[in-house]
Amino acid sequence: MTLEDQIVRITSRLVVPFIQVYGIYIILHGHLSPGGGFSGGAIFGSSLVLVALSFNLEVGAKQISHDTSSILESGGALGFILTGLVAVVLGGNFLSNQAAGFPMGEAGELFSAGAIFIITTFLGIKVASTIITLFYNIIEEEDKSGASH
């Protein structure tokens, strides 16, 4: 291990938790401020990509296994659709929010805006796991083809 490796590793080890917290913050405040499921999920996902890049693929894969990430990926999308269906069951149109009786809460509070909050959370999960899966799929395919990286 060279000195450069160590610098990169220690820095990324320091930075990654903050990136993740920031990603979660963006996801959870999707209904209050700019950002939301996609941006936050991309930030969260790229933190795990950073781990894999600065250490190696095995350490990265230890953080979240391929199975988990692909299950989360399907689960996030399914959660979105289920939220829409819950609205139908509650008597509104597909994906309706206040009309179906989701609790609105106080505007500006964290737990407000009913279905939007739930949907952004699912979206964040989906996007984060998609970014990770995409990264690993491309990297591993490249490994098989014997290209250098």
Partner 1 sequence: MELLIKILHNYYYMVAILLFIIGMHTMLTHSNLIKKVIAMNIMDTSVFLLFVAIGYTYGGEAPIVREGSEVLYVNPLPGSLMLTGIVVAVSITAYALSLIVKIYRYYGTVDYDEICLIRSQE
Partner 2 sequence: MGLEQHFPALIIAILFGIAFFSPLLYRWARKISAPALITALTLALAMSISLLIQVTQGGNITYYLGGWPPPWGVELKIDLLRVYMLIIVLAVSTWIMIYALKDLEHELKTEMLGWYYSLYALLVGSMAGITLTNDLFNLFVLMEICAISACAIISIKEDRACLEASFKYLILSAMGTGCFLLGVAMIYMVTGHLNYDLVSEALPKAVELYPNNMFAAAALFIVAFGTKSALFPLHVWLPDAHASAPSPSSAMLSGVVIKIYAFALFIMFYQIFPRTLLDSIPLNEIVLWLASMGIMFGSIFAMVQVDLKKMLAYSSIGQIGYVFLGIGLDDSMAMAGGFYHLLVHAIMKSMLFMAAGVIIYSTGIRQIKQLGGIGQVLPVTMLAFTIGSASMIGLPGTGGLISKWYLALGALDIGRPIFVVIILASSLLNAVYYMPIIVNAFMQQEEFEHEAKPVPRQMLIPLIVGMAAIIFFGVFSRPVIVLLESAMQMFF
Is residue 109 near partner 1 by the rule CB under 8 A? no
Cβ nearer to partner 1, comparing 9 with 133: 133
User: How far apart, in whole angstroms, are the C-alpha atoms of residue 130 and residue 88?
Assistant: 28
The only residue of 34, 58, 67, 106 in contact with partner 1, by rule CB under 8 A? 34
Under a CB-based contact definition with an 8 Å cutoff, are residues 77 and 126 in contact?
Answer: yes
19, 22, 24, 38: which one contacts partner 1 (CB under 8 A)? Answer: 38
**Rounded Cα–Cα distance for residues 85 and 25 (Å):** 27
Task: Report the Cα 78 to chain-centroid distance in Å.
Answer: 15
Residue 5 makes contact with partner 1 by CB under 8 A: no
What backbone torsions phi and psi does residue 66 show, to the nearest 5 degrees? -60, -40
142 contact, one of partner 2, partner 1, none, CB 5-8 Å limit per kind: partner 1
Map residue 120 onto helix, strand or coil.
helix
What is residue 146's DSSP assignment?
Answer: T
What is the per-residue binding string for partner 1 in 122-141, x denoting contact by CB under 8 A?
Answer: ------------x--xx--x
Which spans of this chain sit near partner 1 (rule: CB under 8 A)?
34, 38, 134, 137-138, 141-142, 144-145, 147
